[in-house]
Structures are given as C-alpha cells and as structure tokens.
Structure 1
C-alpha cells in the first residue's frame, strides 16, 4: 500500500519546511511541497500531521540486543530487548554489541537476535567480538565474520582502559583494527573497532598510539562512553580533530556521574567548535550500567534504555538547539560512520524510516521499513513474545 504523509514539517535532518511525503513499500518515493495527484483506486493510506515535525528514524549504534550484564553471576544478566522498547523510542535501526559477558552470550546469539529483530520489522546489525581478546567470532576470524555474515559490520565493543578488559597491547589492538578495516574495504561495510572506554587512567592512550604508529584511517577507531568522566571526554573531543568519530552514551537519569549527560556533552562539544559531523549518541540499551569501588566490587547497577535517545533530543530542543542541529548525532552522523547508505536521512530512495514528533518533541508515531510500529504513542506492532 502507498502511504502519504501530508503537511509535515520535514527535517532531513536539514530543515525542508512544510512538505508531503509519499512512501511505497519500504522506500521514500516523493518529498515535496506540491501534493501528489494520486488515483483513488491505488488505495492510498493518508496521514495528515498538520505541521508536526517529521524526522529520520533514530539509529541506536550501541545496544545490547541479547541483554548485557552478568557482572555478579547468571542472575544479573539483563534479558534481551523487546522490539517495542526500540520503536517506542523512535529507534528504527539498531546495532547490537556484546560486553563483559562474551562467553555465555556470543556472536552466534547476537547475529541470531539481529535476524530476529529484522523479521519483526526493525533494521538490525551487530559487531563481532566483545570486551575481550581473543575475540569471540562465528567463522573463526574477524575478517571472516565481517565478510561472510551479513549483519556483522565491525568489531565491538572491545574494552580499553577498563579493569574488565583483557588489557590489549598496541600490537594486538592494531591487528584487530587492521582486520576490521580490510574486511570493510572488501564489503563496503563500516569496518570499525567500536571501543568500550572504561574509567582507567590510561584513557585514550592506546587509540592515540594506534593513530600515531599505523596507516589505518582514524575513522576505524570509534570510542564509546566517552562522557563517562570529564578527563576522558576532554581527550575524546581532541580525537575528533584527528578524524575519529566519538560516541556519547545517553545515560539514564542518575547514572551519568562522575561524567556528564549526553545533552550537556553535546552542548560543550558544540561550544568548543569541534567537528559537528564526528559526534554520535547511542543508548547502551539493554546493557548493565555498573559502578565499582577501588577493589573492583560492584556497588550499584542499572540498565540502559533506548528511550534516553529521544529524551536527549527533547532536552537539547529545550536548551534552544534547533532540530537540524540536534538530529545528526542520532541519525545522519551515525549512518555515515556505519556506512548505512539508506538510513539516517529523509530523501527519495532512502528507507521509509521516520518519526513524527509532537509539539513537545515527544515521539508520537514511528514508521520502520514502511510499516507503522507506533501510533499516537502506542506500539501497534509488538515483538513475538511481547503482550499488551
């Protein structure tokens, strides 16, 4: 069925003004100020949004789709994330990662979960490996996983400067990055190393050494959680001027200390004049958010939520940041980094992934791959094992 969205205040994420959007199947086939003349026999489904903002579907580039956790034993493992937990947050594309537990949860289960989310209507990918070396792979090699397994687009989240990491040496780190980069060249995939950054005093030393001592392009080295403490964030900002993308985590309320929230980090980054196209924001959805004492004992933990992404967007708008400035770290910048050519923008030929925001910048309606998943703030499509 054709779908027509009328009178939309469209953000590409650039502002396009008041437009009409025609969708056919899973693609955008028209955006313009003139209302298309469509034969009534085509059975067009029409939604008049009366000037509400329509934005690209959000891309969550760091989510524990199989569930994270496990730091205090099997009972502390977070359950897998249901479909509607993403769609209610305006997320139409997601990248799954493994964290501390890359043993009882592995690349096989991650790939399977990505395929499951695809069957339920989301666009889903994942990385191979997890916190530790040697990486947990499906084919036996990093290059093999990226080249031969469709959903796998890079390596991650490989732990650096963290007491839970395998303490990789520079040579080990460069070997992983080389394999990811070459596999990306062979396939057109992202080919990045998505690095979990801990609170260790070494900070980004390993990544700077990799940039200094190798020919691997800077975009391959992609640190996340960089706003978890202020010294790390200061280091990370400087790294963008060398060509790296850095990823902020939209921590739930009460979990950003001793760092800063994603919204505050965005504002500080913007005020410093750092490259606007090198910043992304992800949720760590489904991941455990632990805090440890000096002896490595767990003192508290929470769970990441994809809903922190639209919360961050809303906070930025309330801080007088325009939508076209606030959206790229959640949409087009992510698509550029991950080489998702049909995601992150509203243009003819792009995938029909979009979000309608109400006057309060809250997610009202969500379309993923041409199908409405959320209407008037209610999930109308649920995952296989979800219930109303």
Structure 2
C-alpha cells in the first residue's frame, strides 16, 4: 500500500477545518490532524508540502458525455471522447457518464465500456442508463434490470423534456421511468435518479410538477438539469427545490443579453433565495455539444462543454465575495449525497482520497484521485493510454 502524506493543507471539508496534515493510503484518508508526529521510516511515506494551499474534496461532475456528445448536424459533429487528464486537471475526480441526443450511433455498451476505461485510468466513474429518448436504450432489456444488475449504472438519463429533440414523453411515460429508477434504487442502495434534460421549450418543468402532484414518488427521484438555460425556467426550478427536488445548474457559457443565467449567477441567486442549500448541484456537460438552433430547428453554431467550467464557476463566485465553504457543497457534498456516494464529497477520515489543492489563482495545483497523484504543481502526472503530451 503506497502512502502519501500531505502537509500544511488549509482544509475545506467543505467546512473550514484550518491547517491540517493528512495521511493517505489504500485510496482512503487514513488520518488527519493539526499536529504531526514522526512516522516510522519503514513506511516509506511520500510527502507533499502544500504550503498552506486550500485543499478541497475532488469535484463530482454528475453530467458528462464521456463517449462524446453531439451529432445534431451530421456525423461529423459527433464530439470525440475525452481522456482522463481532461477531468483531473480541472479538479474532477468523479464523473457520471450519459448519452444525449445521439443514443443510436452511440449506445449503452460504448458508454459502459468508456466508464470502465476511465476507472482503469484511476478516475471514479459511473453512468446513467438510457438517453434522451423514450423508450430508453438498455443493456438488459429494462431500465430497472440495468440498474439492479449492472453495478456502474445508478439512474436513468438524460431523458429530454421541453425540447424539440426529445421523444415528447407523456406524463405516464415519465412516471413509469421515475418509478423504475426509484424502485431499483431501493433494491440496490444506488441513487435511483431520473436525470432530466431541460430544453428551452415553454412547457419548462410542467411535467415534473404534474408527476409530483399525481404520484407518491419522492421528489428526490427527479433531478432536472440545465435549469439555468432560461431565467423563467430557473425560477420554476427554485420552486421545485422547495418541494424537495435537487436541481442541477450547467456551467455553460452565457453571452451578454442572453435569456439565461451563468452557473455563477444562478448559484448566487440560489444561495440568496433561501432555498435549501443541499438541493443544488453543478455539472459541466463536458464533451456534450452546445448547439444553437434557428427558427426551423437547424444548428447554426455550436460549442462543446468543458470540464474546466466547474473550476471557473467556483472561482467566479469566490471573486464576488462568496465564502468558499458556502459555494463548495454544490460541487462536492451535495452531488455525493444525491448520488449516494457515502465515501465522496467530503474530507474526513475514511473517505476516498479524492482531493484538489488550489493555487493562489484558483487553478488546480495538485489533484489526487483515490490517493494517486494525477496533477502535481500544476503539471499533469498521469495521462490516459491514448493521450499525448502537449
């Protein structure tokens, strides 16, 4: 068991714990304390002095197109997959992969294989079964079977609603999916979520409101994402958070004058709204295509979601005066709780050694995934099998 000692870390767990030393081994945090005793030389412990840098839990990105997204404007617009260092150099140590618009040319087998590949490269990786469309594509024949029998699959998503690219699911179809997710979660202890893509359609979250009003399903099952893409949609999402749903912001670029909130703006508005602090998560949509459509539904331009958007969002809100311990849960402990990942999202003894140390400018100075150093002093130390050095 290789052991790593982190000295002089200013720990945010996410609550501030002051200057601490941490001993990592076997992928876990073995010990943490303010006073450091001499360790036996026979342990051959590697030491990194963080010199007072802020140490955070590694980010949990619950919406990532690990196989690549896109495809709305032809096969040439399919986004390629990302290597492991694209995540780790952005401070992300856990990802949840999913399929989007293209759940035909890209399928669940490819998604699951990519998740396993990321695990072999040292990242924590999980996935949602299905994709935009109903009925969803599965591996076992049913979504409940996928969640019960395939360990890496933890929910259903991203099922599209209020979007011209969706299969226009009915309330009954949505309820059946949510019920399957919920029951499978009960059977397995997994998250059991229905992760919902929100388009910019005028119906907004109406289907979710109807589902909550007309069923016995707990609100936590419904996890709508992209809720900051329209300002009115964000207001709808705030009301759902008050009812018990966890809502997800997307860290996509927002232009001046656009009818949308940036993730940083939306996070500030959420924190100031009085909504429950634990019911907000932020994801990157990394690897996903960010298309803009004309009035006839044709793609007129597109971008690609970037993993680095999470760290950019955090630094943006910190520059606006939000305390780190207030902003950090949306990137760490909140998604860990929602995804039922008990060993992640917090810095404490026994937790997974997924850690991010920031430099003075807020960039990733050191990143450890499962106690293994992936980024050291701002330099990528571990790359994926087919990644090339710059």
Q: Does 1:351 align with 2:343?
A: no
Q: In structure 2, how many angstroms separate the alpha carbons of the residues matched to 1:193 and 1:168?
A: 13
Residue 245 of structure 1 is matched in structure 2 by 246
Q: Does 1:337 align with 2:338?
A: yes
Q: In structure 1, how many angstroms separate the alpha carbons of the residues matched to 2:345 and 2:256?
A: 28
Q: How far off its partner does 1:270 sit?
A: 1.1
Residue 181 of structure 2 is matched in structure 1 by 180
Deviates more, 1:281-290 or 1:374-383: 374-383
Contact 1:255 / 1:289 at 8 angstroms: preserved in 2? Answer: no
Q: In structure 2, how many angstroms separate the alpha carbons of the residues matched to 1:19 and 1:71?
A: 49
Distance 1:186 1:27, change over 3 A: same
TM-score by structure 1 length?
Answer: 0.99
Residue 192 of structure 2 is matched in structure 1 by 191
Residue 125 of structure 1 is matched in structure 2 by 126
Contact 2:254 / 2:260 at 8 angstroms: preserved in 1? Answer: no
Contact 1:252 / 1:305 at 8 angstroms: preserved in 2? Answer: no
Structure 1: 5+ residue stretches without partners: none
Residue 46 of structure 1 is matched in structure 2 by 47
Structure 2: 5+ residue stretches without partners: none
Residue 292 of structure 2 is matched in structure 1 by 291
Q: In structure 1, how many angstroms separate the alpha carbons of the residues matched to 2:72 and 2:146?
A: 27
Q: Superposed, which structure 2 residues align to 1:261-300 within 5 Å?
A: 261-300=262-301
Q: In structure 1, how many angstroms separate the alpha carbons of the residues matched to 2:227 and 2:37?
A: 46
**Deviation beyond 6 Å, 4+ runs, structure 1:** none
Contact 2:254 / 2:261 at 8 angstroms: preserved in 1? Answer: no
Distance 1:59 1:24, change over 3 A: same
Q: Does 1:257 align with 2:258?
A: yes
CA-based RMSD: 1.1
Q: Does 1:383 align with 2:387?
A: no
Q: How far off its partner does 1:257 sit?
A: 3.2
Q: How far off its partner does 1:273 sit?
A: 1.1
Q: Superposed, which structure 2 residues align to 1:304-319 within 5 Å?
A: 304-319=305-320
Report how many residues are paired. Answer: 388
Q: Deviations over 1:150-171 (max 9, x none)?
A: 1100000000000000011110
Q: Deviations over 1:272-328 (max 9, x none)?
A: 111110000000000000111221111111000010000011111111111111110
SS class of match (1:259)? coil
Q: In structure 2, how many angstroms separate the alpha carbons of the residues matched to 1:143 and 1:253?
A: 37
Residue 232 of structure 2 is matched in structure 1 by 231
Q: In structure 1, how many angstroms separate the alpha carbons of the residues matched to 2:144 and 2:301?
A: 37
Q: Deviations over 1:229-275 (max 9, x none)?
A: 10100100110000000000001364993311100001111111111
Residue 35 of structure 1 is matched in structure 2 by 36
Q: Deviations over 1:328-385 (max 9, x none)?
A: 0000000000001111001111101000101122111100011000111111100010
Q: How far off its partner does 1:91 sit?
A: 0.2
Q: In structure 2, how many angstroms separate the alpha carbons of the residues matched to 1:203 and 1:254?
A: 21
SS class of match (2:243)? coil
Q: In structure 1, how many angstroms separate the alpha carbons of the residues matched to 2:132 and 2:258?
A: 22
Distance 1:256 1:139, change over 3 A: farther
Distance 1:113 1:61, change over 3 A: same
Q: How far off its partner does 1:82 sit?
A: 1.0
Distance 1:175 1:152, change over 3 A: same
